[in-house]
Amino acid sequence: MKIVIVSDTHMPRMAKSLPAALVQQLEGADLILHAGDWTTLLVYHELARYAPVKGVAGNNDGEALVAKFGLKRIVNAGGKRFGLVHGHGPVRSRTALQTALAAFDGEQVDAVIFGHSHVPYMKRHEGVLLFNPGSPTAKRKQPLYSFGVWQLNGGELRARHVFFADKS
């Protein structure tokens, strides 16, 4: 099972269309997960052309997107449970990582996917994979744009980032 993970697309302000590097990986995807800051439902419809899409809303998403996606969810795929949250929250002193961890405290998940910071991140914490795909359209101070590709085979999860320089 191939899962493509994105966050912080901020379209159309940060890009008029999905980057070619992302589209290349979307082809053949079995599932797409979006960790918020879509900013328009058009991003959902564009992604849904490639595979089923599940996601959450972020702090830049309006009421309609919050109503459609919610702010937190658990996605079951390939026998695994993935916690999905944007990473913003009411406590301003928390980092996106801290907020994401707190969101699923006490819940049984195999991975926590979050965004908000636009900073790619991948590390295990107490057996749980923590993964921020970065952003394919708004890299901020990062040297490259990014997103995630996960392969799930026979219960084994292999996660990686895809980094690229040109968002066209």
Q: How far apart are CA 34 and CA 84, in angstroms?
A: 8
- CATH class of the domain at 2-164: alpha beta
Domain ranges of the chain: 2-164
pTM of the model: 0.96
Q: Give the pair of three-digit tokens for residue 97.
A: 């990582």
pLDDT tens-digit series, residues 78-126? 999 999 999 998 766 689 999 999 999 999 999 999 999 999 999 999 9
Q: What is the pLDDT of residue 99?
A: 92
Q: What is the pLDDT of residue 56?
A: 99
Helix (H) or strand (E) holding 46: helix 41-47
DSSP conformation class of 7: -
| Terminal-to-terminal C-alpha distance of the chain | 27
Q: What is the pLDDT of residue 92?
A: 66
Q: Give the pair of three-digit tokens for residue 54.
A: 């599940």
Q: 60 vs 29, 30, 87, 107, CA distance in Å?
A: 26, 27, 12, 26
